[in-house]
């Protein structure tokens, strides 16, 4: 039976390539007699085969990671934004990393719902947007970064940029609370700013995920700051010690 | 491979978050990472200039969010990376003047840190004070190497200004093979 056939009898069974990124010879093979084939434990009932699609799929085999990579698991949530004078906001996130990094699971980018402030208050805008990604690499160069674009409505309800933010994910395993401060580009003159505000097209960056993560080319770019976004990261790392890296003080 | 031939390496990963505590909120910063002679930059950019934050209203922090991702190889532990920053302010007439110099030795222990670089600038005599008041031209250092060294500071009169906030993670590699405890 071809495992990749979508019409195979039990579509709940994991495909052969699912969850596997290591060497297939290192899988844990279950030992002992197969209970499903035992005549006493599994009596023959007429019509049993009709219910085979409801049979519980076998538990996934233990998969060992490939030792030629180190792995970083990042999960957490983008909790809330603190913006003055902004009533509604939605957020788009992007994880960017260097060319040697690969994402093995999870969503690289995504967008949140539109959050409104509670009526009559000037409190924070809560998204509580969860994310969960796994990275692997052989080199620390190009450590993954999180880039956030906040988009809100202007006085006519048109979508304009309210702020960008960027930050590396923490290098130390554990739980980290981060506050990313937001900034947005400023128009080159008051007239351009006024026309942009009328047309609903304020100054914005062309490709923020690929430009904000770079350390060069930032000089003489005028930015206005305002607002912040609170993020909680949970980081775990695998195989860093085998590569010789120390990420944490021994004390 | 024999462990003796493995060169110790240091990764510095983080951001320059921003600056606060200056007379004007319109600031930008120039930064540089200084290392010793036996250190080599393998990848990354070790000097630069941040965004110019030109916010009109008064915020408690001017935001740079400048990413740092540096990779060093070293033969000796002396000359550990020193972060050296100078902050410039822009007044209402668009004149740029120095607001502070500062330096910070990065932590040697690996881990995740939030650090503050405290800044100062030279004060000068009565003539420089008058120039600074009317023309917004603060006196600058001619030899900027004195920011990262402890020599030749006697007699210099300085004014304490603001601070620059850093968020860095330090990752070291193969120092333990040479008997160095970090």
Is the pLDDT at B57 greater than 80? The verdict is: no
Q: pLDDT > 70: what percent of chain A?
A: 76
Chain B CB contacts of A168 below 8 Å: 13-15, 67, 69, 169
Q: Which among A104, A182, A98, A186 has a CA at the least distance from the CA of A147?
A: A182
Element containing residue A180 per DSSP (H, E):
strand A174-185
Closest partner residue to A218 among B56, B66, B182, by Cβ? B66
How is residue A240 written in tokens? 């860093």
Mean pLDDT over residues A113-134, rounded?
Answer: 87
Q: Please provide the average confidence, as pLDDT, over all residues in chain B.
A: 89
Choosing among 2.60.40.150, 2.60.40.1080, 2.30.42.10, 3.30.70.1350, the CATH entry for A70-243 is 2.60.40.150
Residue A40 bridge partners (DSSP): none
Look at residue A62 and tell me whether its pLDDT is greater than 60. Answer: no
CB A170 within 8 A of CB B15: no
Contact residues, B window 110-139, toward A, CB-based 8 Å cutoff: 110-112
Residue A8 has pLDDT above 70, yes or no: no
For the four alpha carbons of B159, B164, B165 and B170, in that order, the dihedral sign comes to: negative
- pLDDT value at residue B164: 95
Q: Is the pLDDT score of A3 beyond 90?
A: no
Whether the predicted pLDDT of A131 surpasses 50? yes
Q: For residue B65, give the nearest of A167, A172, A176 by CB distance.
A: A167
Q: Determine the average pLDDT of the residues in A210-226.
A: 88
Q: Is the pLDDT of residue A23 over 50?
A: no
**Residues A186 and A224: beta-carbon distance below 8 Å:** yes
| pLDDT tens-digit series, residues B20-52 | 998 888 899 999 999 999 999 999 999 999 999
Q: Using an 8 Å Cβ cutoff, are B122 and B142 in contact?
A: no
Does pLDDT of A29 surpass 50? no
| Percent of all residues in chain B with a pLDDT value above 70, rounded to a whole number | 96
Q: Nearest C-alpha of chain B: how many angstroms from A20? A: 29
pLDDT beyond 50 at B4: yes
ipTM of the prediction: 0.88
Q: Report which DSSP code applies to A168.
A: E
Give the fold, CATH level 3, of B2-175.
Immunoglobulin-like (2.60.40)
Whats the size of chain A, residue-wise?
251
Q: Closest to A140 (Cβ–Cβ): which among B68, B171, B174? A: B171
- Residue B33: CB atoms within 10 A of its CB come to 21
Rounded distance between C-alpha atoms, residue A62 and residue A71, angstroms: 17
H-run or E-run covering A195: helix A190-199
The least confident of A58-62, A123-127, B92-96, B169-173 is A58-62
Alpha-carbon distance of A180 to B66, in angstroms, equals 12
Tell me which residue of A17, A132, A144 sits closest to A78, measured CA to CA. Answer: A132
How many beta-carbon pairs under 8 angstroms link A with B?
Answer: 131
- CATH 2.60.40.150 boundaries in chain A: 70-243
Q: Residue B139 — φ and ψ, nearest 5°?
A: -65, 140
């Amino acid at each position: 039976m071809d495992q990749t056939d979508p019409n195979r009898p039990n579509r709940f069974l994991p495909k052969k390539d699912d969850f596997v990124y290591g060497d297939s010879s290192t899988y844990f093979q279950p030992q002992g007699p197969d209970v499903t084939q035992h005549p006493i434990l599994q009596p023959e009932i007429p019509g049993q085969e009709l219910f085979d699609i409801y049979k519980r799929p076998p538990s996934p085999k233990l998969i060992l990671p490939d030792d030629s990579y180190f792995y970083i698991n990042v999960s957490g949530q983008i909790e809330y934004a603190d913006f003055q004078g902004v009533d509604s906001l939605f957020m788009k996130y992007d994880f960017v990393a260097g060319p040697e990094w690969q994402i093995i699971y999870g969503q690289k980018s995504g967008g949140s719902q539109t959050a409104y402030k509670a009526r009559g208050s000037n409190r924070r805008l809560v998204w509580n947007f969860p994310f969960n990604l796994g990275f692997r690499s052989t080199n620390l160069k190009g450590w993954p970064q999180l880039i956030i674009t906040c988009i809100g409505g202007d006085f006519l309800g048109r979508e304009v940029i309210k702020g960008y933010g960027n930050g590396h994910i923490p290098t130390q395993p554990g739980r980290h609370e981060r506050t990313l401060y937001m900034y947005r580009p400023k128009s080159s003159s008051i007239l351009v700013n006024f026309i942009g505000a009328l047309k609903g097209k304020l100054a914005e960056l062309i490709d923020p995920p690929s430009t904000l993560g770079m350390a060069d080319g930032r000089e003489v770019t005028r930015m206005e700051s305002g607002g912040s976004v609170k993020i909680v990261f949970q980081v775990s790392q695998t195989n860093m010690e085998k590569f010789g890296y120390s990420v944490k003080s021994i004390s | 491979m024999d462990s003796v031939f493995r060169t110790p390496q240091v990764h510095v990963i983080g951001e320059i978050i921003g600056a606060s505590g200056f007379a004007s909120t319109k600031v930008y910063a120039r930064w540089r990472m200084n290392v010793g002679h036996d250190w080599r930059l393998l990848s990354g950019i070790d000097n630069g200039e941040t965004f110019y934050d030109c916010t009109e209203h008064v915020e408690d922090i001017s935001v740079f969010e400048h990413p740092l991702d540096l990779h060093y190889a070293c033969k000796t532990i002396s000359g550990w990376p020193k972060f050296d920053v100078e902050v410039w302010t822009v007044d209402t007439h668009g004149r740029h003047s120095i607001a502070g110099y500062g330096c910070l030795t990065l932590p040697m222990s690996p881990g995740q840190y939030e650090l503050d670089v405290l800044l100062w600038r030279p004060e000068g005599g009565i003539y420089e004070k008058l120039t600074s008041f009317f023309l917004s031209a603060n006196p600058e250092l001619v030899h900027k190497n004195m920011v990262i060294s402890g020599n030749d500071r006697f007699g210099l009169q300085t004014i304490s200004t603001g601070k620059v906030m850093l968020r860095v993670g330090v990752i070291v590699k193969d120092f333990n093979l040479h008997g160095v405890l970090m």
